[in-house]
Chain A
């Protein structure tokens, strides 16, 4: 089945630093999504990408849909303590009728003040 490889698994960074994480797939997706999850809560949508090559920002967050359609990255600029959480990438193939999301295992972000 489809698998997403998300890296790094975890990151410890100083407040104010920039962060980059990425996700690669063994197969093509036509939608990439990035979610953030905090302890005891459900994933919260951060950014949705629908076209290969698309670059989208949401405040300090920027994500790109790779041109091969098999990868995506998420950048966070000038990190702050409330950025702490687990970031998940998810892929979806709407056109093929495969609507369930396939998730990576997450990147756990810790921000040191």
Chain B
């Protein structure tokens, strides 16, 4: 089945620094990838839709200058949390769907970000 790989699985950084999270589709091409965030005991909230070769689409309330998304190829999307603050500490998960087939979204294993 489709595999989505996310790296790193966890990261601890100091307040004010930037962190890059990578999301790769390993055995399929994905023109679109989705970035979700999950706070403890909460649902997975869509942050943005990453589109290969064009700008990402951000959900309301998500700062595009803080959460930079780059989707440079059909198998890689990156999320960079810039000038991280403790309130950015969360579980970030990417997902992708095989293209052009219609199939369920497949998720990476997530990245636990802790900002100290």
Q: Do A and B bind each other?
A: no
Name B residues whose Cβ lies closer than 8 Å to a Cβ of A.
none
